[in-house]
Amino acid sequence: MKPKHIKLFLRLTIAIAFLSAVADRFGMWPKDISVWGNWQNFLDYTALINPWFPQAMIPAVGAVATAVEVILAICLLIGFKTEFMAKVSGILLLLFAFSMTFSLGIKAPLDYSVFTAAAAAFALSAFKEKYVEVDVMLSKK
- Provide the 8-state DSSP code for 106: T
Using the predicted structure, report yes or no on whether residue 113 has a pLDDT greater than 60.
yes
Q: What is the pLDDT of residue 131?
A: 81
Report the interhelical angle of 58-78 vs 82-104 (nearest 10°).
140
Using the predicted structure, report yes or no on whether residue 95 has a pLDDT greater than 70.
yes
Q: What is the pLDDT of residue 135?
A: 72
Using the predicted structure, report yes or no on whether residue 139 has a pLDDT greater than 70.
no
Phi then psi dihedrals of residue 17, to 5 deg: -65, -45
Q: What is the pLDDT of residue 134?
A: 83
Q: Where are the beta strands (DSSP E) in 5-130?
A: none
Rounded to whole angstroms, the Cα distance separating 18 from 12 reads 10
pTM: 0.92
